[in-house]
């Protein structure tokens, strides 16, 4: 397999992934235990009996729509930049992304995994990188605009989150967002500046003999070509077929809406007096902070933020179960399917290499 993305098939790598899976499971369980202590429920348990059949049916009905929207948003982005690949293969990559993202810090590994598997289908690395980056940036722009506004103007949410210094954290995250958006803007409008920065740092590293000149020269030339192609792909996406551009945006909206509605179904099912708008606004804030959580798949941060914002909407003995069900449908199902597909791909590739 391509060593550049570090998805090797050797025994050492398999053990590494198993350790990361164990870490994810451990943090998830410890988070739920911590939540039960936080709400003074000393007997940690999941009470599925609080959920009616109607709630369960709605959650099950939402799940395939959620996964389909996640698949379609990536598929249409690829179509918009003229990358031809089957919808079935993109569905597989969607689940693999869910798995890898949840065992790597800042959820960074999912995009790399998708790039790796796309290059196996003879798709240029710049095309694959552009597609995964666009898929990440679209919701990031949405959250960068909406979440700070909610935190500033919604007094009830601000009141619930002052204990974690929300104002300072929000300023830091917005600054990171703006820098990221600026970087993409430069890639679109003036990639030469990015290339000059890359050359400057490379020369500095070569001067200090941190990197070897012969090896770095080839990699720099390749990187410069990749930047040019990446930039052209972003432009191609924005100026490409309007049909695929709109479909990618609509499917992204569908994905976000569906992911938020798991919480709406859970909270409204247990407390019909809570307004849907309040739940949606709170869920946007939770998801926004998850994007920047350093833990694998935002584990721990996600459960804690969810509990902090939604504990007042349900009984103290119900929040642990609600949090678990939210994570089960939005993360755990996709995680299990993705892990199965990922290891199947690894073992199949290893078998082909041995043959």
Asked whether residue 201 is assigned to any structural domain, the reply reads: no
**136: nearest Cα among 177, 95, 167, 189:** 177
Measured CA distances, 353 to 310, 341, 347, 349 (Å): 50, 18, 10, 6
**Residue 109: predicted pLDDT:** 87
Let me know if 355 is exposed, middle or buried by CB neighbors in 10 A (0-12, 13-18, 19+): exposed
Please state the φ and ψ torsions of residue 105, each to the nearest 5 degrees: -60, 140
Within a domain: residue 234? no
* Residue 89 within any structural domain of the chain: yes
With respect to residue 255, please indicate whether it lies within any of the assigned structural domains: yes
Q: How far is CA 205 from CA 61, 139, 199, 217, in A?
A: 54, 35, 10, 12
DSSP track, 187-243: HHH-HHHHHHHHHHHHHHHHHTTSS-HHHHHHHHHHHHHHHHHHHHHHHHHHHS-HH
The two structure tokens encoding residue 68: 């389909």
Position 227 in a domain? no
Residue spans of the chain under pLDDT 70: 1-11, 41-44, 155-156, 158-170, 173, 209-217, 349-355
Q: Give the three-state DSSP class for 39.
A: coil
Tell whether 235 is covered by a domain: no
Range of the structural domain that residue 179 is part of: 3-188+241-354
Confidence (pLDDT) at 3: 40
| Confidence (pLDDT) at 29 | 93
- Whether residue 321 is contained in a domain is answered as yes
- Give domain status of residue 204, yes or no: no
* Domain count along the chain: 1
Q: What's the pLDDT score for residue 135? A: 93
CA distance 247 to 219: 36
Report pLDDT for 4.
45
């Amino acid at each position: 397999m391509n060593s550049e993305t570090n998805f090797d098939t050797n025994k050492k790598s398999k053990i590494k992934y198993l350790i990361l899976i164990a870490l994810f499971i451990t943090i998830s369980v410890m988070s739920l235990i911590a939540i039960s202590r936080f709400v003074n429920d000393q007997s940690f348990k999941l009470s599925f009996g609080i959920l009616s059949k109607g709630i369960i049916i709605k959650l099950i009905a939402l799940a395939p729509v959620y996964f389909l929207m996640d698949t379609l948003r990536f598929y249409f982005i690829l179509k918009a930049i003229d990358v031809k690949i089957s919808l079935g293969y993109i569905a597989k990559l969607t689940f693999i992304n869910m798995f890898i993202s949840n065992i790597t810090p800042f959820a960074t590994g999912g995009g790399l995994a998708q790039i790796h598997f796309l290059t196996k289908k003879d798709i240029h690395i710049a095309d694959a990188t552009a597609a995964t980056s666009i898929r990440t940036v679209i919701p990031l722009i949405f959250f960068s605009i909406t979440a700070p506004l909610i935190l500033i103007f919604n007094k009830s949410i601000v009141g619930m989150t002052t204990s974690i210094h929300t104002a300072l954290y929000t300023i830091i995250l917005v600054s990171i967002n703006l820098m990221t958006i600026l970087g993409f803007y430069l890639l679109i409008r003036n990639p030469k500046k990015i290339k000059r920065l890359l050359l400057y740092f490379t020369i500095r590293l070569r001067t200090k003999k941190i990197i070897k000149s012969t090896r770095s020269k080839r990699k720099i030339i390749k990187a410069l070509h990749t930047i040019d192609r990446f930039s052209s792909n972003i432009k191609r996406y924005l100026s490409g077929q309007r049909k695929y551009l709109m479909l990618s945006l609509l499917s992204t909206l569908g994905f976000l809406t569906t992911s938020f509605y798991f919480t709406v179904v859970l909270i409204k099912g247990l407390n019909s007096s809570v307004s849907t708008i309040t739940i949606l606004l709170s869920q946007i804030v939770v998801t926004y902070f998850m994007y920047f959580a350093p833990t694998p798949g935002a584990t721990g941060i996600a459960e804690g933020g969810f509990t902090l914002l939604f504990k007042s909407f349900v009984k103290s003995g119900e929040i642990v179960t609600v949090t678990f069900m939210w994570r089960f449908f939005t993360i755990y199902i996709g995680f299990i399917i993705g892990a199965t597909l990922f290891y199947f791909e690894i073992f199949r590739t290893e078998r082909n290499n041995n043959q």
